[in-house]
Structure 1
Amino acid sequence: MELTKKQVSITKGVAILFMLLLHLFCTKDYQGLFTPLIMIKGVPLVYYLALFGDCCVAIYCFCSGYGLMCTYKNNPDEYNKRNAKRILKLYINFWIIILLFVFLLGYLTGNSATYPGDIKTFLLNVTAISVSYNGAWWFLTTYIVLVVLSKFINKVVQRYNNVLITLIVFVIYCICYVQRIKVVITFSNPFLNWAITQAALLGTSLFPFIIGAIFADKKIYSFIFNKVNNIKFKNILCIVGILFMIVCHGFVQTLFVAVFTGIAFIVLFNLIDKPDSLDRLLYYLSGHSTNMWLTHMFFYMVYFESLVFMPKYPLFIFIWLVILCIIPSYLINIIFNFIIKKYCNH
């Protein structure tokens, strides 16, 4: 019983919801932003829930590696062509968001000096080489590089010992994590600084991406599913497992563990038998997840901070931000589908 395309899509959507939760509430300096209802030794409970959301990138990378390996195995001859289309579509989606949220909103809110700013800033952002308009866009560059490298990665995963591969990419993860967090190596040359920053981001994302590819190639999820699916109280045990990770992460508050909590969450979350109504809701949200990822920071940080935090209480703020992101997502999707139908389906 492998993960279906729908399950992977839903899990990616949950990763984006985790990202929103992380960015909204992973702060102990909450005064003036929101009113927490439950406190644990002076710290809002929502802080710990948001902290667990730091696994969002690991979840997204795993799902991407998993999905791309499945695509590669189904049709290796068309793989590069499909990936080229995948990247082009992502860029088109990205450019529509730049048009609406950078040019249009920048002009309407009187922020055109920054959004879009000068021509150099614009060109660096529109190519995703450097993404100063929106901090959440850093992963766009990393994701595109992962997609470009994925055929080579898939071949390596299929050809060589997966335990050895896992050990190697874990070492890479550790080295790149230290560079990313501590910034051990710096250069006076801005291009070299950019390159080493991108290398560190890629290295920390490569580990969950390759684990996802290994899961897909070796059908590891099927093995786990067949072992535990008929266990009594499976759903309760999986929920307890997720809650246990949240509690443990509250004690070990380092981003380093996010890759492990993320992979464990994917397995536990998908093993849970969820109500159809919840599945439908999460699948609906997953259809807007890319737009939520690329736009949410414009709402809560750039243009409309007071509007986003207007509901005061964390649950309502979170739901409100999701709604605010989904409303323009429909317009983005309409423009996107028009462009794809008219210019890209030939």
Structure 2
Amino acid sequence: MKAAALLLAGSMALAACASDEPTGSGSGEGGGGTATEELRVGLAYDTGGRGDQSFNDSAYGGAAAAVDALGGELQELSPNEDASNRVELLTQLAEQGFNPVIAVGFAYDDVIGEVAPQFPDTTFAQVDGSNTDGAKGDNVTGLVFAEEEGSFLAGVAAALKSESGHIGFVGGVQSPLIEKFEAGYVAGAQAVNPQITIDRQYISPAGDVSGFGDPARGQIVAQGMYDAGADIVYHAAGGSGIGVFQAAAASGNRAIGVDSDQYLTVGPELQPVVMTSMLKRVDNAVEQFINDYSEGNVQGATDVLNDLSTEGVGLATSGGFIDDIQGEIDQYRQQIVDGTITVPTTVE
């Protein structure tokens, strides 16, 4: 893919949007900036871009908060329809002097390893992309999460609240990352009720990222679970999750959101069905990384883990739907933090 790193002339049209903030303390080259240099943050989104009310929006929130606090500039780029231009996005940001450059999503796994070594003076980070072995370059930091731990608590909540003893899981794209959500959810539900029935289905197969941006398909998959008797469905499907909520509303059931507190991002008509959301604090991770960069504290060739112990994952309480079971949820949470419970990361 190195040949593709030559930026296409038309790639400027790929920007979803850009916001220029007042200049302030910020960036530099390599591991961090100095107070006399302007912070210029580049953000390359996952499929669907900003507006997904989930993963990408959370990344934007963290980057925007950091830039608001530190001063500087934030440039956002989104993939094209088939997401074939990820190399061009990262290359464009680096060539234009944005530093740090943050890639959002595991789909950048291969391309960031192609681009980052070509720009050794640019600091990169990848949300959901590990780089503990440095294979992607010495200037890449992985921002990773214990999704299975937060999903375990979502499974606990679903099993405690289910009246039918039948729940569901909708994944966006079948992949090791999304299987962590599934594995944790199943383990949590079975910890409460070993006999619980759990329907599981992915919107698209491995390698097809369209499953993160297809609400219509998400609604069909979830509706099939509700029709089969499930009364609560958890989604880890990005922008497709709105379809899961619509299916829950149409069938008089409930759903569990993901990444951000989706009770706060859906309209009033869907709020009654969003029982809770598994919070994956991409916003906090991105904001902290930019802060660390501005202070010269980024090492590279390493991962920053966000888990229950750091409050990098958890459950939202908006709406008050899980208030009555919060004590039980907290007990499971503490057992995970203490190491009494080890949450699986793969499905059986």
One fold, TM greater than 0.5?
A: no
Higher strand share: 2
TM-score when normalising by structure 1: 0.24
TM-score when normalising by structure 2: 0.24
